Amino acid sequence: MSAEDRAPVIAPLLAALVTASGIAWGLVAPPRSEAVARPDASTSLAAPVAEVLASLEVGTRLAGWRVVAVVPADEPGGARVDLERDDLRFGLSVIPREAAVHSAPTRTEHWAIYYGHVRPQGARVPTRIVTAVTAALEREIRARE
Amino acid sequence: MTSAAQPGAPGAARGRWLGHPAAWVLAALHVMLAGWALADDRFLNDEGLLSHLFAQLTARDFVPAFFLQKARPPLATLYAPVALLGLDVFLWVHVLLCSLAVPLVEATARQLGHRRPLVPAAVVALSPMFVAGSAAGLSNADAVLGVAGVLLLWSQGRLLAAGAVLGALVWVRAELMLLVLVMLAWSAVRRQWRAWIGLLLWPVLYGLAGLAYHQYLLWMTHYPPALPSPMPGSPFWATQPQAPSLAALVSAAVALCPAVVLAAGARHGRAPTDLERWWGWFAVAFVVALTVLPRWRVFNFDLSPRYLLPVLPVLALAIGRATQGWGARAGVAWRTSALLVAAALAIAAHRTGATLAAAWAVLGVAAAMALAGSGRPRAALALLLAGLAFGPRHFAEGARIGRAIQAPHLDEMVERIDAQGGTRPVFTNEPILAAYLTRRADRPQTQVHYLVQADQLHELTRLSNPANGQQSRLLAAAAHGFFGRPVFPADLDPDRLPPDALFVLRDDARLELVMPADVWSPRLSPLGGGHGRVRVAELREAPRVVPAADGVEEGSLP
């Protein structure tokens, strides 16, 4: 059988190989953001917030949005969960309620959740999406409070 | 059945209508999959409820609803006989009707001389987006049925009938005007003027009847099927993206059909007919137009993937054609290039937020093509069909029709209502809530009042005629049910509502237009446990109004 005869088998197999490599890449190294790649949360996050966010890994999905980073928030004892989808990114900050200065739209027994850090700058995330993702994060937190 | 002497040559043959028995098995499979989704309300969707609402309006007061172009008159008339029997009956009838697209596509493929006409039938039956749209009651799914019927009639040479059906279909989904243009061009080139006559039948007859009703020559353009531009001042569009991301596009394509990449090989699939080439160009133009139109907010098109559904029959035929030559040496470079491009897009989409579904789909297609190339066409087809069968359960997310995506707060709303006893009259801006509660047999029945939003009322009034009584009759018909018991903005007065009214509100920037904060904030008492995504409140007494020293009234909280 000549190489030409084998082409209908070999060519799609090569394409399959390329695709499989991409899948393996996605499974082994889920996409993460360039600047906010997740640091080792167990050492950088305060213990209480790390505990309630223990289920979140890079690649975890909240209402269809991918967690790309979990980093310490500006407020003491807090953390910021960065989420990404469709080239949009935003952050949900989880702050101890006693440290929360402003009234938070979403609260659990001990935590306040704020929305912000939208990127690219000037982009808008539809309200219903923020609501859905916040609700998903809230459920994760409540399950561990 | 008479055989197709010259496949695709209009008038050459009259194909059979009933199709292969296996096509009906596939149609039954479609009904089962959609019925499964109906059981758990997976695709309960406000656009589907809107189709039901239009059919209800038509059943309650036929004439004014029939001449409201926004109500999709051909479709609303079709469903009007069952519309008042309840949402369940409407949705089941919708699923059954949509499933007819499967044998229609199979018959078209047979008519066009496809060697494997069941492949396009399977693509339609198992399309994740079509199953979802069928179960949701979306008019986009009805458009699939309509287009499938048009293609069959067209391929059989019944051009008058094909044109007549397509001419009416534009009043179901306006975007099908593109297929009208293709039919006009094709029939002009072929000098098949019967298609022109057919296309004109509905617009002329409907237009003349409407002229008699509206007593106004330009009624069709003065009261168009959709708002030419969004309501001024509506904050809704400010929250909508104007261009689709790669991730959204790739996910939508896979939701339409996981084997979509195969369509690229159609041109090497044993001589597609002239008709199929024309339809292919329609599909390309349609997808491009629906991807680009939202940038200008023309006719209220947003980026919902469901708008792409009408290309499904054409896509299915292209995939069916492609499987006829997918193991051949001819075209292998083209097919492989398409696979590699698809793989690159799928991986890039994954890196920017999509799931790996598209990559898995490309992998499956590549494997099937390799099997076909090795001389195992049956194994290749089996793998393809197995992949398609996975679709409705695992590739539907990109369709963005699901309840969990559209209204993720519904279960919390129910919990909050039940926490208040479940029997207080509920006032909500969530259009799905009434239907969702009605379908929950495990809880007390709750009276749900829907707060009609300003832009919804604007659309209804802008697109209907106030001079001949149409508008008032439509509003009277809508008062029987409009996502629950409707409360129009003019009637939304805290002093006229029942004192035990419970407000269950989703976050929506439009709410301010009907519940301005300066009026409502003093009159609502938030109930504890709010989590941001759902606001629950009850009425409180009006602030006592005392005359101030300078004679100006001022309020004081009780």
Distance CA B429, CA A5 (A): 63
Which of A16, A105, A128 has the CB atom closest to B363's CB atom?
A: A16
Which of A5, A12, A128 has the CB atom closest to B336's CB atom?
A: A12
Q: Is residue B465's pLDDT more than 50? A: yes
Q: Which residue has the higher pLDDT, B291 or B370?
A: B370
Interfacial B residues in 306-335 facing A (CB < 8 Å): 327-329, 332-333, 335
Q: Is residue B178's pLDDT more than 90? A: yes
Contact B373 A11 (CB under 8 A): yes
Whole-structure pTM value:
0.80
- Residue in chain B closest to A105 (alpha carbons) equals B532
Quick check: B508 contacting A, CB < 8 Å? yes
Selection from A26, A138, A137 nearest residue A83 by Cα: A137
pLDDT digits over B489-515, tens only?
A: 988 998 889 999 999 988 777 788 888
Residue type, B529: G
Contact B366 A15 (CB under 8 A): yes
The 10 Å Cβ neighbour count of residue B236 is: 19
Top-ranked range on mean pLDDT: pick from A88-97, B14-23, B546-555:
A88-97
**What is the mean pLDDT of the segment spanning B520-535?**
73
- Residue in chain B closest to A13 (alpha carbons) equals B370
Q: How far is A37 from chain B (nearest CA, A)?
A: 14
Residues 6+ apart with CB under 8 A from B363: A16, A19, A20, A23
- Residues of B with Cβ-Cβ distance to A87 under 8 angstroms: 245-247, 352-353
Contact A87 B362 (CB under 8 A): no
Q: Which helix (H) or strand (E) holds B418?
A: helix B410-419
pLDDT of residue A44: 64
Contact A128 B507 (CB under 8 A): yes
Which of A5, A27, A85 has the CB atom closest to B353's CB atom?
A: A85
**What is the mean pLDDT of the segment spanning B537-552?**
61
Contact B506 A128 (CB under 8 A): yes
Distances B273 to A24, A97, B180, B265, B267 between C-alpha atoms, Å: 40, 68, 19, 14, 10
**What is the mean pLDDT of the segment spanning B16-40?**
89
The alpha carbon dihedral of B298, B304, B306, B309 has a sign of positive
Q: Give the pLDDT band (50/70/90) at residue B300.
A: low
Contact A8 B369 (CB under 8 A): yes
Answer whether A107's CB lies under 8 Å from A135's CB.
no
Q: How many CB pairs under 8 A join A and B?
A: 147
Answer whether B3's CB lies under 8 Å from B74's CB.
no
- Residues of A with Cβ-Cβ distance to B356 under 8 angstroms: 23, 26-27
For A70-121, the DSSP string reads EEE-SSTT-EEEEEEETTEEEEEEEEEGGG--SPPSEE-SSEEEEEEEEEST
pLDDT digits over A74-85, tens only?
A: 777 888 898 887
The alpha carbon dihedral of A89, A95, A100, A101 has a sign of negative
Q: Which residue has the higher pLDDT, B378 or B544?
A: B378
- Residues of A with Cβ-Cβ distance to B370 under 8 angstroms: 8-9, 12-13, 16
Answer whether B446's CB lies under 8 Å from B436's CB.
no
pLDDT of residue A34: 39
Lowest mean pLDDT among B204-218, B235-249, B408-422, B517-531: B235-249
Which of A64, A87, A113 has the CB atom closest to B397's CB atom?
A: A64
Distance CA B427, CA B433 (A): 10
Q: How far is A46 from chain B (nearest CA, A)?
A: 24
Answer whether A97's CB lies under 8 Å from A111's CB.
yes
Q: Give the pLDDT band (50/70/90) at residue B240.
A: low
B117 CA to centre of own chain: 26
Quick check: B346 contacting A, CB < 8 Å? yes
Contact B362 A15 (CB under 8 A): yes
- Residue in chain B closest to A17 (alpha carbons) equals B363
Quick check: B510 contacting A, CB < 8 Å? no
Q: Is residue B266's pLDDT more than 90? A: no
Most B CBs within 10 Å, among A6, A14, A19, A88, to test the B interface: A19
pLDDT digits over B268-287, tens only?
A: 656 678 899 999 999 999 99
**What is the mean pLDDT of the segment spanning A83-96?**
84
pLDDT of residue B547: 47
Q: How far is B371 from chain A (nearest CA, A)?
A: 7
Q: How far is B395 from chain A (nearest CA, A)?
A: 13
Q: Which residue has the higher pLDDT, B380 or B557?
A: B380
Average pLDDT over chain B, rounded to an integer: 87
- Residues of B with Cβ-Cβ distance to A135 under 8 angstroms: 408-409, 412, 531-533
Q: Give the pLDDT band (50/70/90) at residue B120.
A: very high
Contact A127 B507 (CB under 8 A): yes
Tell me the backbone φ, ψ of residue B465, rounded to 5 degrees. -95, 115
pLDDT digits over A6-53, tens only?
A: 888 888 999 999 999 999 998 888 775 433 334 444 346 777 888 888
- Residue in chain B closest to A3 (alpha carbons) equals B329
Interfacial B residues in 364-403 facing A (CB < 8 Å): 366-367, 369-370, 372-374, 397
Contact B532 A131 (CB under 8 A): yes
**What is the mean pLDDT of the segment spanning B81-95?**
96
